[in-house]
Structure 1
Amino acid sequence: MGFLEIISRQHNLKEGAGKPYPVEGAAFFFALIRTHFWVFIKLNLLFTVFCIPIITIPSAIAGINRVLILLIRNGHCFLWSDFWEEFRRSFFRSLKIGLVMTIGLGISYYLLNFGIENLQSFSGLLGLVLGFWGTAFFCLFSAWTFVLTAMLDLNIGALLKNARILMLLEWRQNLVVMIVFVVAFCFILAVFPFSLPIYFLLLVSFAQYIICYFLNGPVQKHIIKPFEEKQKAG
């Protein structure tokens, strides 16, 4: 998959490691939530504060993903230091990635609006289809890219390339990501403005936890493990 320039961050993934959990699968998933519930709330609040200048949202996403990946990998994390380190380290890289995703989602939103306003015409139906497809594509693309950003030291081109490859390989994970986005979006709209407190306290960190949990495995399988095996063989 062309990962020759990868720089391993396995030593960083061991920061704050605690005793491994004696459970796997769904039991492990819910054990982390039960054990670190207040970490999720504090992480969500930290993310919200760091998103106040809109320009910092991409690096805040990288920061929250970094903390969650550490939690998933090790069962423990250093909330502030792990978040802040990733926020600073990936600021400019995340900003450029965020700009690409924003432009893509902006075009998709325009096509959706155009399609809705012109449903009686072929161009309107085409715009609606392209708008839905573009929204789904860039939501998935951003999810994979920002998880990779928090796990690997790669340049932007390599991150985007690998995110695209993983999207093609892992349709089950894509389905999970889309379900998370759709459920979160519908929940916010359905009970707005009562959903705002939940959004600021828990929704973002919990949604990103699900995404990181399901995308971590494929990244380990297709990128990190082959790289480690190549390093040992060399």
Structure 2
Amino acid sequence: MRILKILTANFEKEGPGINKNDPQKEGFSLFLEILILRFWDIIKLNLIFILYCIPIVTIGPALAAMTSITISMIQRKHIYIFSDFHKAFKSNFKQSFIAGIIYIITIVILSYSLAYYYKLAQNNYFFYSIFFFCFFLSVFVGLAWLYVYPLITTVHLSLKDIFKNSILLSIVCFKNTLLGALVYWLIVSVNILFFPLALPFYILLSFGILSFIGSFATYKGIETFIIK
């Protein structure tokens, strides 16, 4: 019955807000407060995201739309989950689609390079230097990429400037970026490690909670250095 209620929930119902007169929290206490308040919204968001990803080619725009919703959660805005998701999906489609293609190409190249130079290094230690360069480049790209979709959905910039600012923010806000990335990849690793046992978690929560973590880790830097 509980699952049935989730699946038949009114996704157009306005999400809860936070009283402006409440004392301002920061860090983990703020993260926990918003997470608890928005927990059921995140489950709804996860289900909608999976639905919009069914054509596969729409994964990039769906990621942008999901990020738009989780950014709104961090901003303490009222949210209509389905209508706001669909609106963000359409308005950010072009940039997020192209960004997704670029990300896939980058990951394929870096993954191939890591495997290729690691194999060469077994016979010639010199190639370990290239392997570790590719490894640190992969980590750097991963940290910078946390900012790409949050920037696409919060500011109006060209894709070139989105990438440039993502790199700069990942450096300037390194502490928050690294912490967010570690938690992000810890959850991803656990999901992969326990697949297919973690499949229900994928369906109900994984993507939404990962987006929420990414948005929380990056929004402060975007607000401080870009929006303001």
TM-score range for the pair, normalised by the shorter chain length: 0.7 to 0.9
SS in 2 for 1:20: coil
- If the length of structure 2 is used for normalisation, what is the TM-score? 0.84
Q: State the identity %.
A: 27
2:224 aligned with 1:221: yes
C-alpha distance in 2 between matches for 1:105 and 1:134: 11
Relative distance call for 1:17 and 1:38 in structure 2 (3 A) is closer
Match of 1:42 in 2: 44
| CA offset digits 1:75-101 (Å, max 9, x no partner) | 531111211111101111111111211
The match for 1:157 is 160
In the alignment, what sits opposite 2:177?
Answer: 174
- The Cα shift of 1:151 comes to 0.7
**For 2:54, what is the secondary structure of its paired residue?**
coil
Deviation at 1:127, TM superposition (A): 4.6
What SS does the corresponding residue of 1:122 show, helix, strand or coil? coil
- Choose between structure 1 and 2: higher helix proportion: 1
Partner residue of 1:197 out of 197, 200, 210: 200
Q: What is the CA deviation profile of residues 8-47 of structure 1, one whole-angstrom value per residue up to 9, with x for unaligned ones?
A: xxxxxxx978343624123322122212211111101111
Aligned-partner SS, 1:24: coil
Partner of 1:112: 114
Distance 1:135 1:196 in 2: 27
- What is the count of residue pairs matched by the alignment? 211
Q: Which residue of 2 aligns with 1:53?
A: 55
Counterpart of 2:81?
79
Which of 164, 177, 187 is the aligned partner of 1:184?
187
Match of 1:18 in 2: 17
Query: C-alpha distance in 2, partners of 1:44/1:88?
Result: 18
1:61 deviation in Å?
A: 0.9
Shift of residue 174 of structure 1?
2.2
Task: Give the whole-Å Cα distance in 2 for the aligned partners of 1:142 and 1:62.
Answer: 12
Would the alpha carbon gap of residues 54 and 138 (structure 1) be closer, same or farther in structure 2, given more than 3 Å must change?
farther
Q: Distance in 2 between matches of 1:130 and 1:155?
A: 29
Query: Using the alignment, how far apart are the partners of 1:180 and 1:115 within structure 2?
Result: 28
CA RMSD of aligned residues (A): 2.1
CA separation in 2, counterparts of 1:17 and 1:153? Answer: 27
**What is the distance in 2 between the residues matched to 1:171 and 1:28?**
20
Whole-Å Cα distance in 2 between the matches of residues 130 and 180 of structure 1? 24
Aligned residue among 207, 211, 214 for 1:208: 211
Of residues 131, 145, 148, the one that matches 1:145 is: 148
Q: Which moved more, 1:87-96 or 1:130-139?
A: 130-139
5+ residue gaps, structure 1:
1-14, 226-234
